Chains A and B, each alone.
Chain A
Amino acid sequence: MMTGIQEIDEMIYRDKIVGFKFEDEVFMRIFYHRTIVESAPVSLLLVGDARIDPYLLRAFSRITEKEVEDKVRVRRAFKREDVVPTLNSFAGDLIIVNPYIYGCSIYPSLIKRKGRTFLFFTTEKTYLRAESSILELRREKEGDVIVRVRKSPSHPELKVKFPAYLLHCKEEFGLSKWL
């Protein structure tokens, strides 16, 4: 499993459970769509009002030249009681969007899992952390993305910066630099 951003992938390649915390949902949405495409074949669990945009997935799949439509298996959990049984029903690598939105404890289920797990969230309501590492991503005004390591066995207190256009699989600013 990988995010496609070299700086981040280098930091987490050994971790089994990785949490990505975002300050806004739009940023998170772009990031998890990119990660799904880069990590395919993968399973996906959408919790609460988390959504998947097939057009955004297709765009990333076209850019990265990776077929995803048959390789991503999805399940949705619409209420608190659905989260743990749905999470337990997956095997292999898994991406979970909004895992803490209902504040239920997914710690035992995450620990028991055999594959790697990526968690994407803006809100955290649980204090029992199963993640091996947690990265906090924030968008800067200058068009950069700051990645702050909140928890990591190998990279404590690290701060990495990369240009936001990398998120969109671009190699330079393009026309946005004129805005």
Chain B
Amino acid sequence: MRGVIIDVVPEWGKLRLLLDGGREAHIPVTYPFYATEVDPSAYSHPDVVSIERETWKTFEGNLSLFKIESFNHKLRVRNRVNSFPPSWMQAYVRKGISPFRKVEIGKKDVNDLEDGFYEVKTLEVRKTPFSKPRILFNGDEIDYVPSDTVDVALSPPSVRVSSHVLLNSNKVKVNVGLRGFMEWSLISKMPLPVVASSTIGKILTTNEAWVALGRKFVVPNVRPNVERERTIEELVDTDKGGLILFPKPGIYDDAVQIDFNSMYPSLIIKYNISAETVNVECKDIITEIGHTICKEKLGIVPESLSYLVRRKEEMRNVDRERMEAIKWVLVASFGYLGYRNSRFGKIEAYELVTFFARKTMRRAIEISRSLGMEVLHGLIDSIIVRGKKDKISTLIEEIEKDTGIKLKIDADFLWVCFTSSSKGESYPQRYFGKTSSGMKVKGVIRRNQPKLIQDFLKEVLLIASTEDTAEDVKRKVNDALPELTEKYLFKSHFGDPMDYVISIRGRYYIKGDRLYQAREYLGHDPLYYEEYVKRTSMEVKRWFS
């Protein structure tokens, strides 16, 4: 039988494979369990097929384990290790089964044929408050819920959908869409229903666990970590984030923003940063912050991340949604390295990544300056440079050659504006500018501002977007600002109730005699909104002065 696997269910002595079109197949398996000690009675247990001794690696050294093959996937084993991922997942991965792969199923074995991702019929219902739900049938938008049974569906329970695998969209923890979940299922080899209720951390850890199991490296449950003793000065030097350059407030012509591609995962891969390679006996790289790295063998984290980085690049031209889903896992990978409950993380490894990130950024700034460019802004993994635009490709080449990380032009600004506070201090994460493809706005319009202010700023940016040079933008905005301010001052008194709504942590409020939840309109404080408009108008004037 041929088909695409959409779900796997463990049963006594066999796996039930759910294929596209609602078809089912069974293959006989035994489930692997690992334990440090085995009771003699286990040898005569009716569910146990065999018990063998194997040598596995751990963070501390080698470990002798008992491998128990069982018909029962729920076998209770004392002193168990490698309990993550569950033994039934280990059983089907061992058979070469992976979700969303096209397979040929024989009596005992499964042959992997090709990618079956787009052969699966999908249906996704995205509900948004106060508007019609968006329905995506096989990725195409339609305006009705189809009555046909699909293979996989993601929808809220209030919508009646006929599907072989149905996921409740109200219960998913991450907003990546159905194709994103399917991609996660493919890369983590976990069935879709498990993936839909997982966090990004679990996807990442499962991926690392498969690498570890492949190398016969024990997947630790909880790993006590004793940090290296340091002085206060050493701690201050190492416990830092990425490098941020505070820009000089103002508007600048002809600037270019260059971004490092997946900077943190790339650094982890380049320097082989993993729990089992950092601060161990073998010291191939000794860093200025005192941590050491072993380069003898590729680490578990770099190996699993290099697969994800490769996969992300493959998906870039195939499917944007799938690429975004992998991107989220890569974004989480660095933070998870320092997470206390991470199975393959270590705080020293986390500190090393930020150290190399700062070093890489500093090098990029030096190279830009050596080519005669002015570095306007630097923000963790991107820099904005000005001057000698013809040398941008040379700059990218030089930085790539020096740092070993790929770069891309993120935005080619006709003009860019860096904002500042009333005291003249610049905000590194609040800037906007015009590119040939439209405006790029970062941190200027925020959710916690009243809608009135958001509209005011949007209108200012719309006016600014009509001009192509810094001087023209300044003139145009300054000319239009008094009238615009008057319009919004009037609105602060006599506007629509919607204009006064402020979103704070996902809840909506209106400022009246007090801040109240905006379930209904109970009046607003016009002086508060008037003051807000005046303050914002002054701020805008300062940006464009």
Contacts and interface: CB of A to CB of B under 8 A. Distances in A.
Interface of A: 43, 52, 54, 57, 68-79, 81-82, 84-86, 89
Contacts of B341: 79
Contacts of A82: 224-227, 340
Contacts of B159: none
Interface residues of B, number: 17
Interface string B224-240: 11111111110110000
B233 A70 contact: yes
Interface in B290-343: 340-341
A79 B226 contact: no
A52 B340 contact: no
B223 A72 contact: no
A52 B340 CA distance: 18
B224 A69 contact: no
A70 B231 contact: yes
Q: By CB atoms of chain B within 10 A, which of A52, A71, A78 has the most?
A: A78
Contact of B236 (A54, A70, A71, A84): A54
B347 interface: yes
A57 B232 contact: yes
A71 B233 CA distance: 10
Given A85-B224, A86-B226, A78 B232 contact: no
A72 B232 contact: yes
A118 B464 CA distance: 61
A71 B229 CA distance: 12
Nearest to B231: A70
Contacts of B224: 81-82, 84-85
A100 B60 CA distance: 28
Contact of A75 (B222, B229, B236, B340): B229
A76 B233 CA distance: 15
Contact of A74 (B225, B235, B340): B235
Chain A interface secondary structure, helix, strand, loop or mixed?
Answer: mixed
Contacts of B230: 73-75
Contacts of A81: 222-224
Contacts of B229: 43, 73-75, 89
Contact of A52 (B222, B225, B226, B235): B235
Nearest to B229: A73
B222 to A, nearest CB: 5
B231 A74 contact: yes
B255 to A, nearest CB: 35
A59 to B, nearest CB: 13
A52 B232 contact: yes
28 contacts: A52-B235, A54-B232, A54-B236, A57-B232, A68-B232, A69-B233, A70-B233, A72-B232, A73-B229, A73-B230, A74-B230, A74-B231, A74-B232, A74-B235, A75-B227, A75-B228, A76-B227, A76-B347, A78-B340, A79-B340, A81-B222, A81-B223, A82-B225, A82-B340, A86-B226, A86-B227, A89-B226, A89-B229
Given A70-B231, A74-B229, A74-B231, 12 more contacts: A69-B231, A72-B232, A73-B230, A74-B230, A74-B232, A76-B347, A78-B225, A79-B340, A79-B341, A81-B224, A82-B227, A84-B224
Chain A CB within 10 Å, residue with most, of B222, B230, B236, B340:
B340
A78 B340 CA distance: 6
B223 to A, nearest CB: 7
Contacts of A68: 232
Interface in B171-228: 222-228
A64 to B, nearest CB: 15
B99 to A, nearest CB: 32
A75 B347 CA distance: 11
Complex A-B, nearest 5 residue pairs according to Cβ-Cβ distance, in ascending order:
A78-B340, A79-B340, A81-B224, A69-B233, A75-B227
Interface in B248-300: none
A24 B231 CA distance: 27
Contacts of A84: 224
Contacts of B347: 76, 78
Most interface-central of B222, B228, B232 (chain A CB within 10 A): B232
Nearest to B222: A81
A75 B233 contact: no
A52 B234 CA distance: 13
A28 B514 CA distance: 34
Nearest to A55: B236
Nearest to B223: A81
Contact of A73 (B222, B223, B231, B340): B231
B103 to A, nearest CB: 41
Contacts of B340: 78-79, 82
A77 to B, nearest CB: 8
B346 to A, nearest CB: 11
A122 B294 CA distance: 41
Contacts of A86: 226-227
Contacts of A79: 222, 340-341
